[in-house]
Every structure is written in C-alpha cells, then in structure tokens.
Amino acid sequence: MNLLMEWGKGFLSEVWEARLRFLKFSVVGAVVFLLGTAIVFLVVDLAGYHPYTAYVIELVVTLQLSFLLNDVFTFEAVTRAPNATLPRRWVQFHTVRLPIAGVEGIMAAFFLSILSPWGIYSPHLVANGMAILLGMGVSFWVLWKWTYRK
C-alpha cells in the first residue's frame, strides 16, 4: 500500500510539473484540430469525397503541423538539447503519433457509424472531434515521456 501511495505522489507531482506544457500542447492541439476540421469539411462537404478520404488527407497535413508547432512551442526547451536532433525528434514523434492516429481513425469511424443515423449535421466532424479528444491525453503523455524527455 505504501509503495502505491509513493507512486501516486510521484505521478501527481509529474502531472503538476507538466501542467503548463499540457496547456501549450492543448493550444497546439486546438489550432491543429481547427485546421483538420476545416480540411474534413472542405473535402467532404464541399468536394463531395467520402469522410475516410478526408481523414487520410487531414492526417497527413495535421501530423506535420502538429510536429512543427509542438517542436517549436510546446517542447522548445527540450529541442535545444545537443542529442535531440530534428530527424530523431521527427521519427520519434511520428512513431508515437501514427499508431495513436490510427486508433483515433478507428474511433472516428465507429463514432460516425453511431452518429450518422441520428441526423446530426456533419456527423463526420463530430465523430472526428470526439476521437481526437480521446487520443489527446495519451499523445501528450507519451510524447512528453519519450520523444521530448530531458
């Protein structure tokens, strides 16, 4: 029991330490989400393509933007470390984000299948947003602990 309490205290102190970084991550996430939502809207509602096509296009564009903004804004102090080369950070970032994005895509498809019959306007946008929000915490934690560790 004592070991569990010690682990809990350590975990909570790490969460407290990461609060400002998580806020920055959330701001970057909001910017990337808005761009991604615009891409999905343009590709599905204006161009008439299937939502899955839009998700792939969105993923390619937003992953790169997310990497650049997080690298410069969220984890800027860590990126200045001598062993944290840009190619290394890029590979690690994408190694973390691609599997999570894949799971987000599966969740978006699942949410889309549930929301579509309800007559919600643009259910693909709602489904995509729900999936991204669920993946956000996991993405931050893994990126902070592995890709951008000091």
Q: Flag whether 13 is in a domain.
A: no
Backbone φ and ψ for 18, nearest 5 degrees, come out as -90, 0
Q: Flag whether 83 is in a domain.
A: yes
Q: What is the pLDDT of residue 48?
A: 92
Spans of the chain, pLDDT less than 70: 1-12, 79-81, 150
Q: Which domain holds residue 26?
A: 21-147
Q: What is the pLDDT of residue 115?
A: 84
Residue 34, CA atoms < 13 Å, CB-side half-sphere: 5
Q: Flag whether 110 is in a domain.
A: yes
Q: What is the pLDDT of residue 8?
A: 57
CB 78 within 8 A of CB 148: yes
Q: Flag whether 8 is in a domain.
A: no
Q: How many domains does the chain have?
A: 1
Q: What is the pLDDT of residue 118?
A: 81
Q: Flag whether 139 is in a domain.
A: yes
Share of the chain above pLDDT 70, in %: 89
Nearest to 73 by CA among 25, 132, 36: 25
Q: Flag whether 5 is in a domain.
A: no
Q: Flag whether 76 is in a domain.
A: yes
